[in-house]
Structure 1
Amino acid sequence: MSTRPAVVAVGDDGTLNTVAQAAHAVGCAMGVVPQGTFNYFARTDGIPADLAAATRLLLRSAPVPVQVAGINDRVFLVNASLGLYPDLLADREPYKARFGRSRWVEFVAACATLLRVQRRLRLHIEMGSVVRPVETLTLFVGNNWLQLQQFGAEPEDTVAGTPGHGSMAALMLRPIYTLSMIGLLLHGAMGRLGEAASV
């Protein structure tokens, strides 16, 4: 009887993403035990946040397909980004180390990041044969319907019956000033980021 290799990733979405890249590269199945704040990947695929419950589910489950996305031969599970969004993630780490892991701590850290001067990215976006230069504060490519829904940016043209419901979206943020950043924070807090004029 032959067995296929598998790896188990225990951690937050970033940890799961790192393990998924390695597992995908060698064609290895991956099990998940979520231990993060948001756990978008696990929640989307019905994996409980409780350690014991997730472990029991893992031990009695068979591999199933999940939705992944790729940019330049690198796969990702939840999102990939440039500019402001990864800055938000990096800046929140000292806050979490000092005040603990919670959504309020992450919100305060995000406010501190958004209210400082942001660097602008000059990108060339290629769609088919059309290349368009854009100036943006961030490029965010979301591959998780739950996170996109929380942002208020879930695409309408999803593909029913596919893993992850075929939800994927790219968001860009026009260069804006501090006062507009406060409005953007409010849109994000209310789950209506997709409605913001600057997005």
Structure 2
Amino acid sequence: MKILVLLNRDGGTLKTTDLDWLSELLRDEFQVHGHEITVERCAGKGIVEAIRRHASRNDIDVLLVGGGDGTVSAAASALMGGSVALGILPAGTMNLFARSLQIPLDIPQAVAALASGTTTEVDMGMVNDEPFVHQYAVGLHARMVRFREHIAYGSRIGKMWATTRAVFLALRRLPVVELTIDIDGKVERIKSSAVAISNNLYGPGHLPFADNPRGGVLGVYVCRQRNMRRVMKLTMDILVGRWRGNPDLEVQSAHRVEIAYSGRNHSNRAVRDGELDLLDDRSIVEIKPLALKVLVPSDATYLPHGSEAAAQTATAHPADAI
């Protein structure tokens, strides 16, 4: 396979990583497995343009990006529906999509797992035709990100501390968002402090990420509680994977969710993959099954088996398997 690596030298842990060492490690591991590999480094301000420029190429099989969650989301959006697979070198704060794909978080382990990996297709979420790999949310999450935008940080640890501060600041005065929400045809008007919709249901016992990125459903999470202590308890339960047992969180699965919002403020009232976004008067959120081709470890538990794997092998290009 032909692999192009784009390293965001200003993103996440790569800011403090020896990129000469990492580039050599990537070349050694992938060449051992018979692949052609090119490694390029980009400044953070130019990484999105570089991703878009390379996404439409027909002379590479994998675009492997190294950087934070924003870099990964931009790459997934650019590659969705195309023939080039996305590879992820996890170098962000949370690395939630990489966790969902079961890519090791340790950089040398991730390089080894991907070099001996395989390609498959996973689901993507869409909100008003804009893709997301992890989550779309309104209410408390948007307020937290707005607070975090005003807190300076210069490292991964600094971002984690800024996020923690922003959570507590947001919880001091809970937002109340009035929405009309249609979940697979069931319509209800709600007042909520937080609504989140995930690309596949979160798994239990860990940070909020999907255990099966090929599950074919949205996860819908609604908090109607407005007591600060109880919402704080729910926030902590979500972070450690105990959300299923919390009575203040309503959880459903869906294929299509429509949100109607008639509030005055629309700018920066939603969050898509961790970045502030416009909350439209009407937002349609859908799941796009198997819309993104990805490079993943060959022992990932969600990989297709049996007749499904045989059918894919029969129709796949020989370069699709490593």
TM over 0.5: yes
Residues 46 and 134 of structure 1: CA distance in aligned 2, closer, same or farther (over 3 Å): same
Q: Does 1:42 align with 2:92?
A: no
Q: Does 1:193 align with 2:250?
A: no
| Distance (Å, rounded) in 2 between the aligned partners of 1:54 and 1:152 | 20
Find the counterpart in structure 1 of residue 276 from structure 2: none
Deviation at 1:21, TM superposition (A): 1.0
Deviation at 1:36, TM superposition (A): 1.5
Q: Which has the higher strand share?
A: 2
Q: Does 1:134 align with 2:184?
A: no
Number of matched pairs: 191
Whether the 8 Å CA contact 1:151–1:192 is kept in 2: the answer is no
The structure with higher relative contact order (CA 8 Å, sep 6+) is 2
| AA in 2 matched with 1:66 | V
Whether the 8 Å CA contact 2:122–2:214 is kept in 1: the answer is yes
| Distance (Å, rounded) in 2 between the aligned partners of 1:38 and 1:48 | 12
| Distance (Å, rounded) in 1 between the aligned partners of 2:146 and 2:137 | 12
| AA in 2 matched with 1:64 | T
Stretches of structure 1 lacking an aligned partner (at least 5 in a row): none
- Identity across the alignment (%): 21
Whether the 8 Å CA contact 1:70–1:76 is kept in 2: the answer is yes
Deviation at 1:99, TM superposition (A): 7.8
Deviates more, 1:140-149 or 1:14-23: 140-149
Whether the 8 Å CA contact 1:12–1:34 is kept in 2: the answer is yes
| AA in 1 matched with 2:174 | Q
Stretches of structure 2 lacking an aligned partner (at least 5 in a row): 1-57, 250-322
Residues 137 and 148 of structure 1: CA distance in aligned 2, closer, same or farther (over 3 Å): farther
Whether the 8 Å CA contact 2:96–2:134 is kept in 1: the answer is yes
Show the 5 A alignment for 1:117-156.
117-143=173-199, 149-150=205-206
Find the counterpart in structure 1 of residue 111 from structure 2: 55
Residues 107 and 150 of structure 1: CA distance in aligned 2, closer, same or farther (over 3 Å): farther
Residues 148 and 92 of structure 1: CA distance in aligned 2, closer, same or farther (over 3 Å): farther
Q: Which has the higher helix share?
A: 1
Residues 148 and 95 of structure 1: CA distance in aligned 2, closer, same or farther (over 3 Å): farther
Find the counterpart in structure 2 of residue 111 from structure 1: 168
The superposition leaves residues 107-149 of structure 1 with CA deviations (integer Å, 9 ceiling, x where unpaired) of: 444223212x233222121134432111112211122555664
Specify the structure having the higher radius of gyration (Cα).
2
Deviation at 1:35, TM superposition (A): 0.5
